[in-house]
Amino acid sequence: MGRRVAVVGAGISGLAAAWQLVTDPAAPDDLSVTVLEASDTVGGKLRLATVAGVAIDVGAESMLARRPEALALVRELALEHLLRHPAPVSAAIVAGGRRWPLPRGTLMGVPSDLGTVRGLLTDSEVDRLAAEVISPVEADIAVGTFVDARLGRAVTDKLVEPLLAGVYAGHSRAISLEVAVPAMFAAAREGRSIVELAGRVAAAAAENFTPVFATLENGLGTLPALLADALRGRGVRLLTGTTVRALRAADGGAWALTTGPTTDAVEEVFDAVVLATPAAPTARLLAGVAPAAAASLATIDYASMAIVTIALAGPATDVLDGSGFLVPPTEPLTIKAATFSSVKWPWLALAHPDMTFLRASVGRFGEVSTLQRPDVDLVEIALRDLASVLGRPLPTPVETQVQRWGGGLPQYAVGHRSRVEPARAPAPGITVCGAAYDGVGIPACIGSGRGAARAVVAHLAG
């Protein structure tokens, strides 16, 4: 019998791991790969739903194009012709109830040019920002706490907080500087100015003419099924509706996975296992075989959120200028961001010229009460907040959809790096990957999945 590898979880990390396993030139010729996914579809947080007759992203919708991993995968799958980029329109940030252009050239909200933040910040807030206080930082610290001390609380509240919340749905005064903004952490330790650092990063970005973000025509949520087709074409066994309930050591250094209902459990043995599941299920599966790894993963919290998608009749009205807006938690609004999808993505407007799609996100880490409300309330809240920011109500939607993401985004709390360290190589022949470790963005997840698969290939090589 050949060598057998299981990948548990068919989010983008697990699918990328499986792709690496079947394309890695160092993988054994007799390798067989099985992907086991609990839900009925592949993709995890990449998902399409039909709203007003159109299949549209209700999870992740955009990927960073200035990191190589996602674009490389798209090219390997020969899907390059489907790559699309956002329109060159700017986003906004809400302060004092109105929209301000999102300042250009910031490093996670830290401005490089003080002129770009006047108005959004008051004169005294800009004066405080200009008087950067450089004091040494020894160990990991929360992004917001660090920026508070360096540049004043207003920079954290109005700039850093909404940008970080857009990525983690968390709070900047809890999120790890070391993991979330490593370049800023390095500057902090070396006692360098972060305004100057933001300037250098902005200057380098200005010389890079490649687009910052990308998606796929027909939605980023099409990527998992396309990748799954390519995997099946290479002989991968892909099982959906298959929850892995237990993992135990089997004879000869192999691992046994239990699936199926408790009354009719099925056990299958593999030579190696990639766990591409979120931290909590990974911790449960590792509890018996790598208790220290399991214990550290069990401490990682996740933020839940909901995406409210709104379909309007007719082309985008001029009130939807720009690609959308971010809302700092200091504003008296419930939504934390809005994306004017039909304005942001020209392919969407071209494909559906008679419709306008937009979406709002609700929910930050620790904010449970909002998400306990029924869908109809979340839609009403989104429409109310949108009307408040836009200065007039939107027309009555043709259709709305609420996608809830319980446990959507891991929270990289201060000390995250050392917390996940014991879980990186839990046991010989078991590797882990996914959003819980080195980045929640799609390119980071793809890189994490492929890295875990390479470690499995090395393990199989002996």
Ligand X SMILES: Cc1cc2nc3c(=O)[nH]c(=O)nc-3n(C[C@H](O)[C@H](O)[C@H](O)COP(=O)(O)OP(=O)(O)OC[C@H]3O[C@@H](n4cnc5c(N)ncnc54)[C@H](O)[C@@H]3O)c2cc1C
What contacts 352, CB < 8 A, 6 or more positions away?
54, 342
Instruction: Enter the DSSP assignment of 265.
Output: -
Based on the shown chain and the rule CB under 6 A, indicate whether residue 445 belongs to the binding site for ligand X: yes
Stretch that binds ligand X, among 199-207, 272-280, 326-334, 365-373 (CB under 6 A): 272-280
| Residue of 168, 340, 405, 412 interacting with ligand X (CB under 6 A) | 405
Strands ordered across the beta sheet of 63-64: 63-64, 213-216, 83-84
Helices (H) and strands (E) in the chain, counts: 18, 20
Piece in contact with ligand X (CB under 6 A), picked from 56-64, 110-118, 324-332, 452-460: 56-64
Torsions phi, psi of 152, nearest 5? 100, 155
Interacting positions 235-254 with ligand X (CB under 6 A) = 243-244
By CB under 6 A, residue 61 contacts ligand X:
yes
408 binds ligand X (CB under 6 A): yes
Q: Please, which residue, 201 or 305, has the CB nearer to ligand X?
A: 305
User: One-letter amino acid identity for 322?
Assistant: G
Nearer to ligand X, 202 or 433 (CB): 433
- C-alpha–C-alpha distance, residues 371 and 417, integer Å: 29
Tokens 């550290």 appear where?
A: 296
Closest CA to 106 of 212, 178, 209, 215: 212
> CB of residue 46 vs ligand X: minimum separation in angstroms?
6
Rounded CA-CA distance 460/462 in Å is: 5
Using the rule CB under 6 A, give the single segment among 33-41, 117-125, 341-349, 381-389 that binds ligand X: 33-41
State yes or no: residue 9 binds ligand X (CB under 6 A): yes
State in angstroms the smallest separation of the CB of 443 from ligand X: 7
**Count of residues for the chain?**
462
- Determine if 370 is a binding residue for ligand X (CB under 6 A): no
End-to-end CA distance of the chain: 17
65 makes contact with ligand X (CB under 6 A): no
Q: Cβ of residue 387: shortest distance to ligand X, in angstroms?
A: 23
Q: Which of 307, 333, 337, 349 binds ligand X (CB under 6 A)?
A: 307
Query: Which stretch in 18-26, 261-269, 325-333, 440-448 sits in contact with ligand X by CB under 6 A?
Result: 440-448
Give the C-alpha separation, 17 to 19, whole Å: 5
Among 147, 247, 389, 440, binds ligand X (CB under 6 A): 440
* The token pair that represents 230 in the structure block: 């390519």
Contact flag: residue 62 with ligand X (CB under 6 A)? yes
Which phi and psi (to 5°) does residue 64 adopt?
Answer: -65, 125
434 binds ligand X (CB under 6 A): yes
- Residue 442 engages ligand X in binding (rule: CB under 6 A): yes
Asked if 279 touches ligand X (CB under 6 A), the answer is: no
In the chain, the amino acid numbered 424 is R
Whole-number minimum distance, CB 330 to ligand X, in Å?
22
Token pair 């909901």 in the structure block, residue = 306
44 lines the binding site for ligand X (CB under 6 A): yes
In sequence order, the 6+-apart residues with CB closer than 8 A to the CB of 341 are 56, 57, 61, 348, 357, 358, 359
Radius of gyration (C-alpha) of the chain in whole angstroms: 23
Binding-residue pattern over the window 11 to 30 for ligand X, x denoting contact by CB under 6 A: xxxx----------------
Give the distance, in angstroms, between the CA of residue 281 and the centroid of all CA atoms in the same chain: 18
Note whether 348 binds ligand X by CB under 6 A: no
Binding site for ligand X (CB under 6 A): 8-14, 36-39, 44-46, 59-63, 243-244, 276-278, 281, 305, 307, 405, 408-409, 434-435, 440-442, 445
